[in-house]
Amino acid sequence: GAGAAGAALRRWQVAVLQQLLLHISGRNTTVGFLNGVTGIAQVVCAAFGSDRDRYASVTDLQQLSGTAPVTRQSGKTKTVLRRRACPKFLHQTFHELADHSRKSSRWASAYYDYLRQSLGKKHHAALRALAFKWLRILFRCWHDRVQYDESTYLEALHKRHSPLLHTAASSI
């Protein structure tokens, strides 16, 4: 049926994208900033691209990827919703990056736990918030042409006296 054909097309598109990324990653210097991030580095690199003028700010990328929420306000009523108008593959990429990072990054795991336990966010809302944070970090690495380093980020948390650092330290 149409559903099976659509799924087969998506699998083919992913396979072609993976082959293309494997081919260009040897020549593309933008991949290096993701060496410290587990998981899907080449796909994330494709989302960022090599043109550093492509996005005026990280907000553009967050909105495009669907990690930035949509706020609707009318009078005294304010509603924050998930952004649905975004490329689904791109959204899923950052969603999966956030999910995988919980298993290898102390601060990411601590932040996810904080969102779930202290703020009562549901699993996918917490992953979107974590992806939103990851995009800020990775955008800065990509823009400044530096490799992501977990210890550097933990030092920055320490300098800002972030409560997240204490949660991350206790989760070791």
Q: What is the pLDDT of residues 120-150, one digit of tens each?
A: 999 998 998 998 898 888 888 878 877 778 8
Can you give the pLDDT at residue 171? 53
pTM, full prediction:
0.67
Q: What is the pLDDT of residues 34-45, one digit of tens each?
A: 554 544 666 677
Residue 120 structure tokens? 């009562």
Higher confidence at residue 84 or residue 6? 84
Q: Does the pLDDT of residue 26 top 60, yes or no? A: no
SS (H, E, C) the chain: CHHHHHHHHHHHHHHHHHHHHHHHHCCCHHHHHHCCCCCCHHHHHHHHCCCCCCCCCHHHHHHHHCCCCEEEEECCEEEEECCCCCCHHHHHHHHHHHHHHHHHCHHHHHHHHHHHHHCCCCHHHHHHHHHHHHHHHHHHHHHHCCCCCHHHHHHHHHHCCCHHHHHHHHCC
Q: Does the pLDDT of residue 4 top 50, yes or no? A: yes
Q: Does the pLDDT of residue 23 top 50, yes or no? A: no
Residue 20 structure tokens? 């293309």
Residue 114's pLDDT band, with cuts at 50, 70 and 90, is very high
Q: Does the pLDDT of residue 88 top 50, yes or no? A: yes
Mean pLDDT of 7-21: 55
- Residues whose CB is less than 8 angstroms from the CB of residue 46 and which lie 6 or more positions away in sequence, other chains included: 17, 21
Can you give the pLDDT at residue 62? 79
Q: Does the pLDDT of residue 152 top 80, yes or no? A: yes
Can you give the pLDDT at residue 10? 57
> Is there a contact between 40 and 96 (Cβ–Cβ < 8 Å)?
yes
Mean pLDDT of 111-117: 93
Can you give the pLDDT at residue 38? 47
Q: Does the pLDDT of residue 83 top 50, yes or no? A: yes
Residue 17 structure tokens? 């994208």
